[in-house]
A and B are shown apart, each in its own frame.
Chain A
């Protein structure tokens, strides 16, 4: 038999960081039995393909607060889950190439500082102190927040996976969720590639595939999967501490614990998941040009490997969290726009609340699945969708 039981209290689609964390919180608050299904192997999606950045510098207060809570959770992670995720708080450095970009970053700084975080505005000399060898005249300034940082995603996944399983959560890998079964206008079960399974609640935490799963379940959603590529270089002795992000083109990079430069740059790929998680010559060239242009000495460093993953984008840049009013029992935990790892610890607690039918403290205007319906588009948007 594929699954241990015929029916579950909750079925979670997606064993990425959001799905596993949600399962963990559900199991802890007595919300079991819980089944998590995933089409691939553990960490085969964006949770195993990201650059490991965790930051609290955002354009909207709602996101800053979720991010700050997540940073605290990652600081505690080693104690709570027994895995070393190498969460290194050595800052995020945003770069501005002109005064307009700097003005935008200063607005972010004001907001972030008003939340009690020690954000700093830097001039070009201040930036150069963090980025040894930056090309002269490449930037006019930037902002820096030391308590932002980077972590190593895989052990975070394993830590939550093993903790969830020890609480009785069942994780079925290599099982694709094909849609939901509806009875009396609410969720009654999930159809999977290994057969149906009964449940009153399904959580869509499928990352890049969440739009596909919602639509297969008969729900029109605006989620769009976009492929983002990333590369790693040969390892070097440490010379760069912060994660560096350039506003203009979405260039981001950091130096990992192993000494590799890991980063990407935004390219206009065709949306959708159909082309898989491959790499393109255009990315390798664009990324090399961006890196060498900013830090000329990197020209003598070798690219070791490149890969890609899907962002799950929403029109306003906020994730979608909560039960879908059109289909009771269908709970969204998606639309993270490439920032699921950053926000998972804080958001997954709310997703678990929603799955248990409890109210959350989230602003419905920003996060509710209902916000895309109705005539007026949302007034606020989170556009700092970088790095």
Chain B
């Protein structure tokens, strides 16, 4: 990154970005910007995930709505505006909706009387709903690009450490894979064709007629359609930092460790000075190492690991183990957090300008679900993983898992990658029957954590699903009304139907439902992982050739 060399306008004012810098980074010189309001109640909502999934940084660029500022690098002359606030996200008159209805609007039973007013309600609600205005035709034309089609032996999804290691081992054995990587600037992988800025969005089960082959749909930013036909697929999509339920959990200034670490990539300074880090494990340690001078305190739902204690002590940062995070205060940006010590019940406030969530990492398992691989609930993480044998083979022949998604601990990653590559090359399936592993430790500490939180007053107004503005009280109401299971509660409350498709709300919702329904999380079920994995431009899909009519379709 060099001198500012890309000039664009943001809400009509001139701004600039360095080469290779994302729009979000350019708009966050020292703290996270307020770019949008939540979809229903128009609460201030901040950039949260930093990896292109949440709704927190959606903006309109050159007439194209819902562009993720964290994945878009401005080009000279871009016109960037905000979307769903009037007149601006900072001063949004529509915020009155949230102020007038602090307990939420009951759209399920309400707004239907008197009958003559329903047309008026419908028009009003429709105008208030919706994120950006529809795209301009010019914006759609600018996206038109020829599709990429490939037919290969093996495709590797993800060019993080494990994906790279598998690709390198494959290349050494003479199989040159295609590697898909979502990151915009991933370094190349020797012996493999790397497709950067490319997200795999749909991996259906392999064809069951003739030779079993996979069809993988993907798209390269901004809207290049990609279709890869492959005999085997290695999924190494890694994990992401999960969300947490507390008051104000999508306020600007609350962000995941993924977002904090990517925004703090050298030579950038992190977009905070006094952050409260949530979590007491590896990820918290990483944050202290990378931006410890901008950390105010470390708060952990459970115990704190020795390396975090050491790092915090060296930096003189106070630790708050076994603490409930009650809320983040501050109207338009986080100014402090309120904690309650588990057990004693002592409450503390800490002044801060950010809350960084680093307490739990869960795998990106969507492609395994789509492909029909058998999945298993891992209690210690509180998430679903594909069932795999020692060589990474799943229950779907030809589909392998590597790295975090295979549940491999970091020290064994390199050796595991070799084993996976060997199995792929030999066309081997699982070396042993793929069967559920024994419980991998005690259930996640968050179960007990949420059990305590759900007894505290006021939690009903917390936001269970920021994308669709679903309150925790609506989830509780669904369960009280006799609706059970995540699939039903999802339909009843709209939880998980917003732009991140449940990626951030589901991991916590499963635990909460397990407590409310008084049964283990796996019995609460899981939401069908519907394609695409991330919102995919229609232009990208439309650029791909239609399969012949009458062909047997899966």
- Contact call B133/A236, Cβ cutoff below 8 A: yes
B531 x A306 contact (CB < 8 A)? yes
**Contact A79 B115, beta carbon cutoff 8 Å:** yes
Q: A84-B110, A258-B129, A302-B537 are in contact. Are A237 and B134 (CB under 8 A)?
A: yes
Q: Is A301 on the interface with B (CB-CB < 8 A)?
A: yes
Contact A236 B499, CB 8 Å, known A84-B107, A296-B137: no
Question: What's the minimum C-beta distance from A161 to chain B, rounded to whole angstroms?
Answer: 10
For A287, the closest partner residue in chain B by CB is B541
Instruction: Please tell me which one of the listed residues A235, A269, A289 contacts residue B39 in the complex, with CB atoms under 8 A apart.
Output: A235
- Decide: B66 and A284 in contact? CB cutoff 8 A: no
Chain A 277-291, CB within 8 Å of chain B: the 1/0 string?
011111111111101
**A300 on the B face (CB < 8 A):** yes
Q: Do B542 and A78 have beta carbons less than 8 Å apart?
A: no
Q: Tell me if B130 and A43 are in contact (CB < 8 A).
A: no
B455 within 8 A of A: no
Q: Which residues of B contact A278 (CB under 8 A)?
A: 204, 554
B208-251 contact mask (Cβ, 8 Å, vs A): 1 or 0: 00000001010000010001000000000000000000000000
Contact of A279 among B109, B127, B487, B531 (CB under 8 A): B531
Q: Which A residues between 131 and 159 are near B, CB-CB below 8 angstroms? A: 133, 154-155, 158
| Known interface pairs A259-B126, A300-B139; A289-B535 also in contact (CB < 8 Å) | no
Interface check B202, CB cutoff 8 A? yes
Q: Which residues of B contact A285 (CB under 8 A)?
A: 541-542, 544-547
Which of the 9-residue segments B140-148, B169-177, B186-194, B280-288 touches chain A?
Answer: B140-148
Cβ of B122 under 8 Å from chain A:
yes
A377 part of interface (Cβ distance < 8 Å): no
A155 and B137 contacting across the interface, CB-CB below 8 Å: no
Assembled-state Cα–Cα distance A293/B133 (Å)? 20
Contacts of A258 in B (CB 8 A): 39, 129-130
Q: Is B456 an interface residue (CB 8 A)?
A: no
Determine the chain B residues whose CB is within 8 A of the CB of A288 once the complex forms: 538-542
- Chain A: minimal CB distance from B285 (Å): 36
Q: Is the CB of A300 within 8 A of B537?
A: yes
Q: How many residue pairs between the two chains, A and B, have CB atoms under 8 Å in the bound complex?
A: 201
B130:A238 contact, CB within 8 angstroms: yes
B residues near A269, Cβ cutoff 8 Å? 553
A130 to B492 CA separation, bound complex (whole angstroms): 32
The smallest beta-carbon distance between A174 and chain B, in angstroms, is: 9
Q: Given A41-B488, A285-B542, A289-B546, are A301 and B537 also a contact pair (CB < 8 Å)?
A: yes
Using an 8 Å CB-CB cutoff, how does the interface string of B519-548 with A read, 1 for contact, 0 for none? 000000000101110111111111011110
A257 to B202, CA, bound (A): 27
- A300-B135 contact in complex given A279-B530, A288-B541, A307-B528, C-beta closer than 8 Å: yes
Contact residues in A for B139 (Cβ distance below 8 Å): 297, 300
B132 contacts chain A at the CB level, 8 A cutoff = yes
- Decide if the interface of chain A is mainly helix, strand, loop or mixed: mixed
Q: List residues of chain B with CB within 8 A of the CB of A299.
A: 135, 140-141, 143-144, 223, 537-539, 542
Which residue on chain B has the smallest CB distance to residue A48?
Answer: B491
Q: Once the chains bind, are B536 and A83 in contact (CB under 8 Å)?
A: no
The count of residues in chain A whose C-beta lies closer than 8 Å to any C-beta of chain B is 58
The count of chain B contact residues (Cβ–Cβ below 8 Å) is 69
With a CB–CB cut-off of 8 A, which chain A residues contact B530? 279, 305-307
B62-77 vs A, CB cutoff 8 Å, 1 = contact: the mask equals: 0111100000000000
Is there an interface contact between B130 and A281, defined as CB atoms closer than 8 Å? Answer: no
Name the residue of chain B whose CB is nearest to the CB of A41.
B488
Q: Is A234 among interface residues, defined by CB-CB distance under 8 A?
A: yes
- B-contact 0/1 string along A293-325, CB 8 Å cutoff: 100111111111111000000000000000000
Do B532 and A284 touch across chains, with their CB atoms under 8 A apart? yes
Q: Evaluate contact between B501 and A267: CB separation under 8 angstroms.
A: no
Bound-state CA distance A237–B130 (Å) is 5
Chain B residues numbered 111-138 whose CB sits less than 8 Å from any CB in chain A: 111-113, 115, 118, 122, 125-127, 129-137
Cβ contact within 8 Å between A300 and B553: no
Whether a CB of chain B sits under 8 angstroms from the CB of A44 is yes
- Bound-state CA distance A268–B134 (Å) is 31
- CA–CA, A4 and B133, complex, Å: 52
A385 at the interface (CB under 8 A from B): no
Whether A84 pairs with B111 at a CB distance below 8 angstroms is yes
Chain A contacts of B217 at CB under 8 A? 281, 284
Contact A297 B140 (CB under 8 A): yes
> Is B550 positioned at the interface, with any CB of A under 8 Å from its CB?
yes
Q: Shortest distance in angstroms between B478's beta carbon and chain A's nearest beta carbon? A: 10
Specify the chain A residue showing the minimal Cβ separation from B208: A275
Chain B residues with CB under 8 Å of A158's CB are 108, 492
Q: Are A284 and B202 in contact (CB under 8 A)?
A: yes
Q: Are B531 and A233 touching (Cβ within 8 A)?
A: no
> How many angstroms from the CA of A200 to the CA of B64 in the assembled complex?
61
Min CB gap A167→B, angstroms = 16
A242 to chain B, nearest CB (A): 13
Within the assembled complex, what's the spacing in Å between the Cα atoms of A36 and B114? 33
Partner among B107, B135, B487, B531 whose Cβ is within 8 Å of the Cβ of A41: B487
A48-B491, A306-B530 in contact; A301/B538 too (CB < 8 A)?
yes
- Given the contacts A268-B553, A298-B140, A292 and B491 also touching, CB distance less than 8 Å: no
Tell me which residues across on chain B come within 8 A of A304, comparing CB atoms.
Answer: 499, 501, 532, 535
Does B439 have its Cβ within 8 Å of any Cβ on chain A? no
Give A152 Cβ to nearest chain B Cβ, in Å: 9
When chains A and B are docked, how far (Å) is the Cα of A339 from the Cα of B135?
Answer: 32
**Highest count of chain B CB atoms <10 Å: which of A133, A238, A267:** A238
Rounded to whole angstroms, the CA-CA distance of A237 and B108 in the bound complex is 21
A83 touches B491 (CB 8 A): no
Q: Is B485 an interface residue (CB 8 A)?
A: yes
B483 at the interface (CB under 8 A from A): yes
Q: Residue A372 at the B interface, CB < 8 A?
A: no
Whether the pair B531, A305 counts as a contact (CB closer than 8 A) is yes
Residues of B within 8 A of A84 (CB): 107-112
Q: Knowing that A285-B542, A285-B546 are A-B contacts, what are 8 other residue pairs whose CB atoms are under 8 Å apart, sorted by A's residue number?
A: A235-B499, A238-B127, A257-B126, A286-B546, A296-B141, A299-B140, A300-B140, A303-B537
Q: Closest 8 A-B residue pairs measured CB to CB? A: A259-B130, A302-B535, A299-B539, A288-B541, A299-B140, A300-B135, A78-B112, A288-B542
Show the binding face of B for A, using Cβ within 8 Å.
Answer: 39, 63-66, 107-113, 115, 118, 122, 125-127, 129-137, 139-141, 143-144, 202, 204, 215, 217, 223, 227, 483, 485, 487-488, 491-492, 499, 501, 528, 530-532, 534-542, 544-547, 549-554
**Residues of chain A having any CB pair with chain B under 8 Å:** 41-44, 48, 78-79, 82-84, 86, 88, 133, 154-155, 158, 233-239, 257-259, 267-270, 275, 278-289, 291-293, 296-307
**Can you list 14 residue pairs at the A/B interface with Cβ under 8 Å?**
A41-B488, A78-B112, A78-B113, A83-B108, A158-B108, A236-B131, A237-B132, A238-B127, A258-B129, A281-B554, A285-B541, A299-B135, A299-B140, A299-B143
